[in-house]
Amino acid sequence: MKYTVDIIIDLPRPKVIQLFDNPDNMHKWQPDLVSFDPISGDPGQPGAKSKLHYKMGKREIEMIETVTKNDLPSEMAGTYETKGVFNIISNRFEEISEKQTRWVSENEFQFSGFMKLMGIFMKGAFPKQTLKFMNQFKSFAEAEFA
């Protein structure tokens, strides 16, 4: 399953990147994130691996993030693996004006096992969740520089 979502952030691209590229900020816009633990490599650089632990209601999810590309301020890409799900994400940041940045998130999900059924029946939930995270980041970022 592939999809693309985008939002406009009312901040200059350098400020957006300053906040996005700092793992310490993740808790501020991903309230379900319990921990972000580097495993190997130079954090944020291609090949770096980290373990992310989320608690969403009663569900707990652990995933492994692998950075595949860091060409910031333009693009950052990576993969996210958890049981039955492999997610490839490319985040691009486009300068619209001196005061606005477009964040484009291209996502590809590959499912295996039981998660193949979840992928079929919950197809619309994945773009909604991505957009929710993006809007949470937008709110956080704009408030940081208000």
Q: Domain ranges in the chain?
A: 2-144
Supply the pLDDT for residue 122. 75
Looking at CATH, the fold of the domain delimited by 2-144 is given as Alpha-D-Glucose-1,6-Bisphosphate; Chain A, domain 4 (3.30.530)
Residue position matching structure tokens 């999810």: 61
pTM over 0.75: yes
pLDDT tens for the chain, residues 1 to 146: 899 999 999 999 999 999 999 999 999 999 999 999 999 999 899 999 999 999 988 989 999 999 999 999 999 999 999 998 899 999 999 999 999 999 999 999 998 876 766 766 677 788 999 999 999 999 999 999 87
Supply the pLDDT for residue 120. 66
- CA–CA distances in Å: residue 121 to residues 72, 108, 109, 124: 35, 16, 14, 8
Closest C-alpha to 137, from 95, 98, 93: 93
Supply the pLDDT for residue 34. 96
Supply the pLDDT for residue 56. 86
